[in-house]
Chains A and B, each alone.
Chain A
Amino acid sequence: MRALRWHGKHDIRCDNVPDPEIEHPRDAIIKMSACAICGSDLHLFDGFMPGMKSGDIMGHEFMGEVVEVGSANKALKVGDRVVVPFTITCGECDQCKRGNFSVCERSNRNKDIAAKAFGHTTAGLFGYSHLTGGYPGGQAEYVRVPYADSTHIKIPDGLTDEQVLFLGDIFPTGWQAAVQCDIEPTDTVCIWGAGPVGQMAIRSAVLLGAKQVIVIDRVPERLSMAEAGGAITINFEKESVIERLKELTQGKGPEKCIDAVGMESHATATVDAMYDRVKQAVMLESDRPHVLREMIYVCRPAGTLSVPGVYGGLIDKIPFGASMNKGLTWRMGQTHVNRWSEDLLRRIQEGQIDPSFVITHTVSMEDGPGMYKTFRDKHDGCIKVVIKP
């Protein structure tokens, strides 16, 4: 089969590899019908996530048809159409039972490595380094899904792949980011980053009733898509984020702040951004936390910071004194996809939202590797890439 494989920094190739096989009775094999390049795949592409090995298959946002099931998998049958959550969940451990699916205690088969890095293991993820299990990802014609009886979202007839594909990652990620803010109808929600997750977070915040949604980015087409979703936009290259937020909140700051950027923030012409870039270049810091610093600074005292953006390691010069003294609440984590699947699928079926609005490019597997750079550099108006086999 064909699969997009990581061969090193900035080196993704479409290779022929052996088809996957059932390895455990709870497994299933999915014939991929659509997958996407996620913003967090770019952290692998750019070499910021440790634990990748040459030949690893990329991708964690995918869907398809079940073509084979393990003997103990009674939840699925051949022919079922499923979206696969990017977090692999056993459904039985203490964390899964509490709904904390992204920190499933069993699905990471390299939990010793994860525990060394993070103190405890987190869930296994598809195509996202050996720190999270080293599972082959979904940018392949066929994918083995471990714990498939728990790790799937069944899709009813009548919905297109494009409408439901993002149930596996960016839609619940944006939704959880907004939910973590516990939005009140009087709230201003400020979102850093108008990429795919930011776009979903905007619409989620609107649906959850935020009085005002503000988004910060610098890419004109992303800002135009954010405006379409109901956001007030701030182009941080053209205006002062701090001054504009003061104007929009009568000097009080937004009650709720969402970091939909993560470890590769691109603040330009700020001292801290240059400082981070230098430290990262000489490996004294793994992530660039400009957005976190800015959120702490502008957030209204007693407000909430929600962090769906991915961070991988160490950050520096966080004004934690400001955070502590302002009494800010932090909420963060990988998405507990299964928690939201049923509810969000229903909202798509009812027509409240159609997540396909974010797709700008649909390409073949062969064109997939080139789209990483296009997506990373935001060329050609690229916001979200879908790959078809």
Chain B
Amino acid sequence: MDTHGLKDRLREPAPAPAKLARGLGWFSIALGVAELVMPRTVARVCGMQVGATTVQMYGLREIATGVGILFADDPRPWLWGRVAGDVMDASTLAAHTDLDDAQSMRRTGVALANVAAITAIDVYAARNWREEEGPPMYDYRDRIGMPRSPEQMRGLARKDFEMPRDMRTPEALRPWTAEPSQGNEKATQTPAVSVAPASESAVEAGAASTPAAPAGTPITPSSIAPAGSPVTPTSPL
């Protein structure tokens, strides 16, 4: 495989904490949706004796935090928000456990362990997040594709390009106007730049540019489909 001399310039993978933050964002949304749509199940699994509305409020908080992490340019405040939410969750778990029920106690213990683990991950992500950036390891800034700089090449094709009539902007919408003149907010129809394509006058005069040939006239460039090519009446396929 020829990679055109680029093989040894491998792109640095995205920083792990940035990926982790995105993962936490989606996790937050998923957990929030679960809390929102099945609050009693969530409460039971966690061994809590708490109302469905409370769990649903916590679910909304999770969703908001998750969306914030995914949307923000800098998700760190939202990640710290998750840490604060973890503390709330742990407090709620501890406060609403049925201390007389061994099964509830076991479930709350597991839930608290999970909260502790996810808190550690949240803190790690919040402290270590950094933007996915750095200079591109594949630098194509020398691939101009033109013999001179873009500034020197700008507009070169206007000298000899015949704009097809069917692709022209409607006359009423062109050309784009200059800034409105003083005291006249209505845009002027005067071209802001006097440069016109060489073919403009021909087009304006109604001369048939290549694609605007009258219906029925073959317009295929002769070198592509020579005139006089045999006409086959039936489909060849």
Contacts and interface: CB of A to CB of B under 8 A. Distances in A.
Interface of A: 23-27, 72, 74-75, 89, 91-92, 94, 96-99, 106-107, 109, 124, 133, 146-147, 149-150, 152-154, 179-180, 182, 184-187, 199, 203-204, 206-210, 220-225, 227-230, 237-238, 255, 269, 302, 304, 327, 329, 331, 336, 338-339, 341-343, 347, 351-355, 357-364, 367, 379-381, 383
Interface stretch (B47-55, B116-124, B215-223): B215-223
Given A269-B70, A341-B224, A380 B229 contact: no
Contacts of B216: 97
Contacts of B219: 97-99
B167 A228 contact: no
A74 B229 contact: yes
Interface stretch (B33-41, B79-87, B137-145): B137-145
Interface in B1-54: 1-4, 6-7, 9-11
B10 A225 contact: no
Given A24-B232, A230-B151, A354-B147, 5 more contacts: A221-B11, A224-B136, A339-B210, A360-B140, A363-B1
Given A26-B236, A97-B215, A150-B225, A352 B147 contact: yes
Contacts of A228: 140-145
A329 B170 contact: yes
B164 A75 contact: no
Most buried by A among B144, B147, B169: B169
Interface residues of B, number: 76
12 contacts: A97-B216, A97-B218, A150-B225, A154-B224, A206-B153, A209-B155, A221-B140, A224-B136, A225-B143, A228-B144, A347-B157, A361-B3
B231 A381 contact: no
A147 B211 contact: no
Contacts of B217: 97
Contacts of B236: 23-27, 146-147
Most buried by A among B71, B145, B218: B145
A180 B168 CA distance: 7
Contacts of B147: 351-352, 354
Given A338-B224, A381-B138, A186 B193 contact: yes
A362 B1 contact: yes
A334 to B, nearest CB: 14
B88 to A, nearest CB: 25
A352 B4 CA distance: 22
Interface of B is mostly: loop
A330 to B, nearest CB: 12
Most buried by B among A255, A336, A380: A380
Interface of B: 1-4, 6-7, 9-11, 70-71, 73, 131-133, 135-147, 149-151, 153-158, 161, 163-164, 166-170, 173-176, 178, 191-193, 195, 210-213, 215-221, 223-226, 229-232, 235-237
B10 A380 contact: yes
Nearest to B231: A92
Given A207-B156, A362-B1, A182 B163 contact: yes
B167 A357 contact: no
B28 to A, nearest CB: 14
B145 A353 contact: yes
Given A26-B236, A96-B220, A209-B195, A352 B168 contact: no
A300 B222 CA distance: 39
A25 B136 contact: no
Contact of A91 (B151, B155, B225): B225
Given A26-B236, A224-B136, A358 B143 contact: yes
B63 to A, nearest CB: 12
Contacts of A204: 157
Most buried by B among A72, A99, A180, A360: A99
Contacts of B135: 220
A185 B226 contact: no
A381 B174 contact: no
A176 B153 CA distance: 18
Contact of B174 (A96, A180, A182, A224): A182
B230 A352 contact: no
A380 B12 CA distance: 10
Nearest to B233: A92
Nearest to B211: A99
Contacts of B1: 361-364, 367
